[in-house]
Structure 1
């Protein structure tokens, strides 16, 4: 159970809010329309905030400074002058591992503020305070800070790039959900002290684990947030991690060398072989949306049409990149279907066949260590490193012995059934299971957010190799059944990998449509997305096919609609397609 002293008060406030909404008929009526935010200016000296914010409870401000206009840029755009405030909350020494823990954070407060607060959820296992810029979709050309939001970023209660914090029970809970509970009231009070008023509207945005944080905010802390933007939300993160370990175990069976590192595992399906599969998917499914343009828009029709056994050549001899062996096909079929336990129960979710499976590379630079990117990174590198660490040290109860823990050995030898059971288990000091502290409670029941006028928008790359777009689709269908459609939207991004990359139009701004929906009642429809070709200000996407225009655009359609070619017009322009 939560241990924060803030929690009883917050839960009481949520209960009161729920009672009021029910009394007002909020359950079945149209949700209320929230008013638009109004801005304010900060006219003091940024350095003075170190003293002004000293009264924040359980908080130590470590720095307050002015950041001049243009010091921080996003997509070539200069971010206006603002204050940067750093600090930490609830510093303590763990009685379990003796380490020092605190919730580290950074706030960026614009001199010209738009009256809005954005809590930036970060990815991976957290552990670092990233720049509080509020980045959006792919290689963004804008962000929340650039748009005038006050933005908060945090390390979620621990520092360092490893999963060793999982030994401390409280650090687990902070990472899962309690850091958000502690940071939110602090950030809002800091904003009030800085501007003389609190935020009129509050938002949460992040991708990957940051998307999971967003889902948690939308369910546990709905009274605190008016809008949530969740990208590739790993709301079943422990399941996905265990499934990725099971996938590594399958890949190990077809690797051409004994697996001692990531590159050895990547010999299971080489970059060339992954691209072969991706090309065959595109060849089979490209025209299903009415345009032969190298993109698979009709995801559902593709799954019905493409057959791995028949549509990819089977090697009759040695593997040479022009075919897949029967053993490789068997492994890939199990991975796309979703790895299972020994009893045949699917651990996590299935994955769709898409044109982005060839994205990224695995290799060893001259004189360097093994590196990977894109799909290769998640399939062969993360599975036997970060996911092994997280599964063994954070998601298991009790955790593995840190002194003797070997991620590679753990990933490739530990019984999958035992790992699958451990994420649901509790043990001694670890009184809350990983599937409790990491996941949003009853994720499809979002009446609290919906009934107060809040909105949620979710986007997910179809070629995401770690968190499945199919899992997000299942969530969204459940939301429609359990809560409704008038407050939620889901967007698939064809070809896109995990949060960005892949042969995709992965550059877009969903925050502006979310704000317009929350504050103006303008329900979002298609969102225009662009490719990041040569010269793109947000960074070039190396996965783009050579034949695409550098600025190719497409509409991202609200599920279940599909972007279909109108029959005329340039294949490089979103205006030639419509959501149907």
Structure 2
């Protein structure tokens, strides 16, 4: 085969990217990846393929190491004015030479014996660039996007679509040098180098590279190399990423939204500090349960399965889809009306022993599904929703059947380490030892010093406030402002005509879908003044959120979910075909394998027509308003329900330790919700 890209980049490529004068780049390899055969239909979850995939043609792959800011103390010292770096804080550790690994995959041009059906120079290239996200906290070059195989999508999906693909490790070489592996943890941006002048400080440049800059560098390099390889400028730019890659996508949307034509973002791990702090809420509740009744009180898998069956029986038709099919249309409505007290031993209709619950076990379930609240009873963040209570997602823990009531999740520990700019602080089994709203017991025998910095009580609500308002104990700015990609001002993307499809499953055990609903409402309020039907209609003209009932993280679960949604986005961008629905298909682990259902643009939902099979998407239409709270009774008749949106109102950002609820940002008023908000939580676990 002909030569592809020389190992020393031609000057034209370097000049094609606007970079700081100190920046350098190296090219570890450039090679041709052989063609791959067709993959048969089958699989489930991330590998679900209703139809065969491929074959994949051979393609060119180029690896870069990009050094965005050089090295040495001049780039790490206080006062550096750099995007994403607060004044007076270090961008990088002293002597750190920040390196961002980038892999760019290109359909073969004619010189490299690629197909020539699209022109002698362009080969199989359509003129498009697909920037792809990476999972978790990055540190890997394994893409996390959406294709025929959902989260298993990678650069070969882009190649089959005729796109150039770009993927980056965002500056965290966790998996090893140009290695596709397990994504890293997030505390890589906390300086822990012995004797460093910035020890126990956050390297904000590293954070910015992770959150949005690294992906943006990859997109710029993809443009430059495509131009050099094909001799033409790219015509279209897409972003494709889920989970951690969804977080990167939100960073691109908020910082560079007008530089992309379309975004496909699934289950985004944005607002990272806030939702990761909430990961351990079930553990807090369970720890209180153990304190009160001993370890034997932890619910068994059989008890949990029995509760799940009770939930479906009570809530299947209580939503808005009007059909009993095992799918809960909106678990928020269920949370507002259902109580686990229905399964208390001796209650009429409760299951027999040992499947029934004690009163305190039932209260624990109710508190878990109500979600994190502070000592004032105000919601701080969103719960693991009620539709995920089946044993493979025990009490909301990610794909685990074991309960951990003594330590918190690693993701929560990372958040607290960022709050305090210390990768070794504190011991995770001491966090939140005095959580007021749950009465988690008095301090231990040695007092606060054993569990926190001296004199600093470590409670859930205080940690939330440290991250959003107080800043670290060492005086750094609050980290949430730099990690969380939560800016609702998307005017530049809107003006550019960018199209956005955002996906989430309501049974996601890793990332709560309700923070997507909250963000979507904030965007509608920021751009159009509120969250009335007309405001959402304006937002839907270019930005659509699709929530798949009872779908898990990225895909899978009991309900039907999307397949190859990038095609839907591409038709919207390139052919102006507005996605009124996305077809959902159940995999082999679904309640009914092969079941189809329309996934509707929020706040609409799928409503059964009353005719035809409830396993056929053609029997449903999109309608209603999930935010308004109109629900159905057991006979399918429409009755007025509570405004569900009011139950989603949480504390004002930066005021997580107060009673102040943020109605304005989500287009509501206190008077609209005053009669409908649920009672504030009391101190006792036995209260709901």
Question: Which of 275, 289, 293 is the matching residue for 2:325?
Answer: 293
CA distance in 1, matches of 2:362, 2:578: 43
- 1:229-308 equivalence runs, <5 A: 229-255=264-290, 268-288=298-318, 289-299=321-331, 301-303=333-335, 306-308=337-339
- Does the alignment pair 1:167 with 2:199? no
Question: Does the residue aligned with 1:119 lie in a helix, a strand or coil?
Answer: strand
Question: Which residue number in structure 2 is paired with residue 399 of structure 1?
Answer: 421
Structure 2, unpaired ranges of 5+: 15-22, 40-46, 77-91, 109-123, 175-183, 192-202, 434-450, 452-457, 528-537, 624-688
**Aligned pair partner of 2:161 in 140, 147, 159:** 147
2:170 corresponds in structure 1 to 156
1:190 maps onto 2:225 in alignment: yes
What are the residue-to-residue correspondences of 1:345-384 with 2, within 5 Å?
A: 345-354=378-387, 356-358=388-390, 360=392, 374=399, 384=408
8 A contact 1:565–1:578 mirrored in 2: yes
User: In 2, Cα distance between the equivalents of 1:156 and 1:411?
Assistant: 32
Give the deviation of 1:334 after TM superposition: 2.4
Q: CA RMSD in A?
A: 3.6
The equivalent residue for 2:618 is: 575
1:557 matched to 2:600:
yes
User: Among 91, 104, 125, which residue is 2:137 paired with?
Assistant: 125
* Aligned counterpart for 1:434 among listed residues 465, 479, 482: 479
TM-score by length of 1: 0.77
CA distance 1:136–1:167, change in 2 (3 Å): farther
Tell me how far 1:98 sits from its aligned partner: 6.8
Distance 2:305 2:95 in 1: 48
Alpha-carbon distance in structure 2 between the residues aligned to 1:351 and 1:153? 31
Kindly state the Cα deviation for residue 498 of structure 1 after the two structures are TM-superposed. 2.0
Residues 1:102 and 2:99 aligned together: yes
Rounded Cα–Cα distance in structure 1 between residues aligned with 2:276 and 2:3: 46
Asked if 2 retains the 8 angstrom alpha-carbon contact of 1:460 and 1:469, the reply is yes
Structure 1 residues 175 and 272, CA, compared in 2 at 3 Å: closer, same or farther? farther
The residue aligned with 2:575 is 520
1: CA distance, partners of 2:432 / 2:96: 26
1:491 is paired with a residue whose SS is strand
Say how many residue pairs are matched.
506
Per-residue displacement from partner, 1:388-416 (whole Å, max 9, x unpaired)?
A: 342133x31x42253x7544455765432
Contact 2:129 2:237 in 1 (8 A): yes
Q: Which residue of 2 aligns with 1:500?
A: 555
Residue 508 of structure 2 is aligned to residue 464 of structure 1: yes
RCO greater where, 1 or 2, for CA within 8 Å and sep 6 or more?
A: 1
Partner of 1:530 in structure 2? 585
> Which residue matches 2:239?
204
Q: CA deviation at 1:558?
A: 1.1
Structure 1 residues 149 and 552, CA gap change in structure 2 (3 angstroms):
same
Aligned residue number for residue 419 of structure 1? 463
Aligned equivalent of 1:17: none
Distance 1:206 1:348 in 2: 24
1:295–1:494 Cα contact (<8 Å) kept = yes
Whether the aligned pair in 2 keeps the contact of 1:557 and 1:563 (CA below 8 Å) is yes
Alpha-carbon offset, residue 92 of structure 1:
4.8
Q: Judging changes above 3 Å, is the alpha-carbon distance between structure 1 residues 100 and 411 closer, same or farther for their aligned structure 2 residues?
A: farther
Q: Measure how far apart 1:465 and its partner are.
A: 3.0
2:361 corresponds to 1:328: yes
2:290–2:405 Cα contact (<8 Å) kept: no
Deviation at 1:453, TM superposition (A): 0.7
Deviation, structure 1 residue 297: 2.4
Matched, 1:214 2:258: no
1:20 — aligned with what? none
- Report the structure number with the largest CA radius of gyration: 2
- Does the alignment pair 1:89 with 2:47? no
State the 1:296 CA deviation: 1.7
TM-score of the pair, normalised by structure 2: 0.66
Deviations 1:193-219 (A, max 9, x none): 222223211111222222222122111
Quote the residue 1:66 is aligned against.
32
Paired with 1:175 and 1:522, the residues of 2 have a C-alpha distance of 34
